[in-house]
Amino acid sequence: MNHPHGDEDETRRIWHDLRELVLGQDMRRAVADALGLSFNRAKALTYIDADGPMPLRALAARMFIDAPYATVIVDDLVKRGLAERTANPADRRSKLVHATAEGRRIAARAMHIQDTPPPGLAAATPEELAVLRRVADRLLKEVQGRDEGAADADGAPAHSRQPV
């Protein structure tokens, strides 16, 4: 099956605890308070900054939101001078969103706050960290592989892209 090694319940408990660790930090509030942006705005900004210029539909897919809400969020970021819309040469229907210099600065602050681990993580042994690194990489690869058909990150229409 899918679990050659593992005991189903144990993996569920571990995932439960990892979720509790990540969600038990009230990072939404921490980021929002520090930056004066709602958590979703900050998240959108970090995605735009990290993944480079992208059409709105890619941002929407990445954030699990619909097109009108993506427009609202980007409008707000633009109004604050943190993002800009530019024409997409590959498809004139769409627009590429990219972060301004100020937006990149804010995004960096957001990531600095969010990515600060609980202090105990720094006390983990190199072997433990290596395991975390390996497992996280594997799962992330799997997850992004799973939805890559749904969310196009580049700005070109589907037809002009080559299959791998």
Residues that bind a second copy (CB under 8 A): 2-6, 8, 10-27, 29, 64, 111, 114-129, 131-140, 142-143
Q: Phi, psi at residue 47, to the nearest 5°?
A: -65, -45
The number of residues that bind DNA (CB under 7 A) is 32
What, of DNA, a second copy, none, does residue 100 touch, CB below 5 to 8 Å by kind? none
What, of a second copy, DNA, none, does residue 39 touch, CB below 5 to 8 Å by kind? DNA
Dihedral through CA 143, CA 147, CA 151, CA 156, nearest 10? 100
What, of DNA, a second copy, none, does residue 140 touch, CB below 5 to 8 Å by kind? a second copy
User: Minimum CB separation from a second copy for residue 127, in Å?
Assistant: 8
Of 11, 17, 71, 138, the one binding DNA (CB under 7 A) is 71
Of 13, 16, 19, 29, the one binding DNA (CB under 7 A) is 29
Q: What is the DSSP string of the chain?
A: ---SS--HHHHHHHHHHHHHHHHTT-HHHHHHHHHTS-HHHHHHHHHHHHH-SEEHHHHHHHHT--HHHHHHHHHHHHHTTSEEEEE-TT-TTSEEEEE-HHHHHHHHHHHHHHT---GGGGGS-HHHHHHHHHHHHHHHHHHHHHTTTT---SSS-GGGPPP-
Tell me if 110 contacts DNA by CB under 7 A.
no
Of 95, 103, 106, 107, the one binding DNA (CB under 7 A) is 95
Binding site for DNA (CB under 7 A): 28-29, 38-41, 55-57, 60, 65-75, 85, 88, 91-95, 152, 157, 159-160
